[in-house]
Chains A and B, each alone.
Chain A
Amino acid sequence: MDLSDLTTRLQEKFPDTVLEVSEENDEVTLQLKGSSILEILSFLKADGFNFLADLTAVDNLTLGGNERFTVVYHLLSHERVERIVVKAYVSEEKPLLPSVESLWKTADWQEREVYDLFGIEFESHPNLIRIMNPDEFNGYPLRKDFPRQGRGERKDFPIVERMTRGDRE
């Protein structure tokens, strides 16, 4: 992939937001501040990356990184057969990103999944509700501080007293 061309154009257009562009094993990774994700992705979409292959998030609690969460977008260009990874950093205090649902409809469900499992909210998303877990579920399971173990053995659960036939009568 001709990286230098894309890099210069991106850095000219968005000098403040692009943190780093790197290439490793034919994988181009673009790291940027979360707030500008919609503009950058519209730019890349116009540039030929017509397919949002995957949208997911990583909790950097113990991994280390710029911010607490990384939202990872895998873009694909059908025409040029190229992939690019775009990483947007989101802080723990304000987990909010612009939604890219207006660019790709597939982002609708995928952003709902990230919201459900990581608790990252997406601005101007049409229907941001939980998708995998029930609506009344508490917590965000894929965060690193969400416990992996259950509540323990049978003895840890309260015994539910049920009415017997005699009580009812």
Chain B
Amino acid sequence: MNPQVNVQPLETEKMILNFGPSHPATHGTLRVIMELDGETVVKATPEIGYLHSGFEKLGEDLDYNQYVTITDRMNYLSPICNNVAYALSAEKLMDIEVPKRARYIRLLMCELSRIADHFLSVGMQAVDLGAFTVFLYGFRLREDIYDLFEIATGTRLTTSYTRVGGLMRDLPDGFETAVLDVLEEAGKVADEIETLLNHNRIFQKRTKGVGVISKEDANSYGISGPAARAAGIDWDLRIKEPYSDYEEFDFDVVIGVNGDVFDRYLVRMEEIRQSVKICRQVLDKMPEGEINIDADSKFILPPKDDVYDSIEGLIYHFEQIMPNRGMTPPKGEAYVATESPNGELGYYIVSDGSRTPYRVRTRPPSLMNYSIFSKIMTGRMISDAVAILGSLNIIAGELDR
């Protein structure tokens, strides 16, 4: 018997669905207006700007060291990367070269925050797809790294660690052993996460072939970072345009093949291992010496001990921070691009020779990475939106500034 069933398509009606701006899976104030046909997304229009805080306008009123605190608030998953990118740009403008130890410490901190950022991003992606354990594993290790930040900078999240011409303070005693412990743990956690996810059938079904970004699209949409490397683009600023002494360390660039959500996950996991490798090398080679440029250059604040204990230090401190004094860079402009966990993070500073920048522009990787969302969402299911959003790791603070 072979009963003939006359299948007729059901009549459907287009429906508008608001995804966000406060939705548990958007991890930030992202809003997507989706036009649905059944469960298929016909058109997805991202609406951004819910967290627009005028950071760039604010920068025109703050001096070069004050603005460091604003950069923390942009990408709040890896604030030190923002601090370093801004400091590098300001130093290029003022033609300052920081001591070797400062460069190494910055690099170590950047790589630690890259590990934390990738663990959180993979964990968030997994928890949105139902793998809660991965999220907890990643989150616990991120806590350990944040403890390291707290030891070194005094705060967990809003680190404000760099100053123009150096760092806020040197690493405390015993920091190296604490980092080595966390690095060892990071390798183990990465293994555990990969055991849970790599051959997980549900995870593979939800991520393989989803949100595919081709090489051409990645270049056209300005995609950078893990998302571009997953698409097969061999581009890592740490190797191609080395800054802060990255050229002295040995590590590999991780490149994917398919450019889908699964590849972006794999790229992030392997980048964690490469970062662990870099951190170990930095600790091995860490030079002794000063962390700030010479105080006579008038570009650096005096140590706080001097300010509190001596009249000269106090006078010198006021010389730096009073509104009509302080560091004045030459007229000009500088753009420095760095490889943040999300992609190319650049600061473009224009100076008119006064003590506040004339214009501070952040090149946010999230904005460019998010602009392709509408294209790769078209024709997919609603549930894919969650997987794709997680894999692009959009940070609203940086997206909207």
Contact = CB atoms under 8 A, between A and B. Distances in A.
Interface of A: 24-25, 27, 50-54, 56, 58-59, 62-63, 72, 74, 78, 81, 83, 85, 104-106, 108-110, 113, 117, 130-134, 141-142, 146, 148
A52 B92 contact: no
A51 B359 CA distance: 23
B52 A133 contact: yes
Given A85-B335, A132-B49, A74 B222 contact: no
Contact of B220 (A53, A106, A109, A148): A106
A134 to B, nearest CB: 8
B363 A54 contact: yes
Contacts, number: 85
Contact of B361 (A56, A108, A130, A133): A56
A3 to B, nearest CB: 17
Given A51-B219, A106-B221, A132 B350 contact: no
Nearest to B239: A81
A153 to B, nearest CB: 19
> Interface residue tally of chain B, by bracket?
35 or more
Given A132-B48, A132-B52, A58 B359 contact: yes
**Shortest Cβ-Cβ A-B pairs, 6 listed:** A106-B222, A132-B49, A132-B52, A54-B363, A105-B220, A56-B361
A148 B60 contact: yes
Given A25-B92, A27-B335, A78-B233, A104 B220 contact: yes
Interface of B: 48-49, 52, 54, 56-57, 60-61, 92, 217, 219-222, 233, 235, 240-241, 332, 334-335, 337, 344, 346, 348, 350, 352, 358-359, 361, 363, 367-368, 371-372, 375, 400-401
Interface residues of chain B: helix, strand, loop or mixed (majority)? mixed
A62 B52 CA distance: 25
B57 A141 contact: yes
A78 B52 contact: no
A42 B220 CA distance: 13
Given A56-B348, A62-B352, 15 more contacts: A50-B219, A54-B346, A54-B361, A63-B352, A72-B348, A83-B335, A104-B221, A105-B220, A105-B371, A108-B371, A117-B56, A132-B400, A141-B54, A146-B57, A148-B61
Contacts of B334: 25
Given A81-B241, A108-B371, A109-B371, A53 B363 contact: yes
Nearest to B344: A53
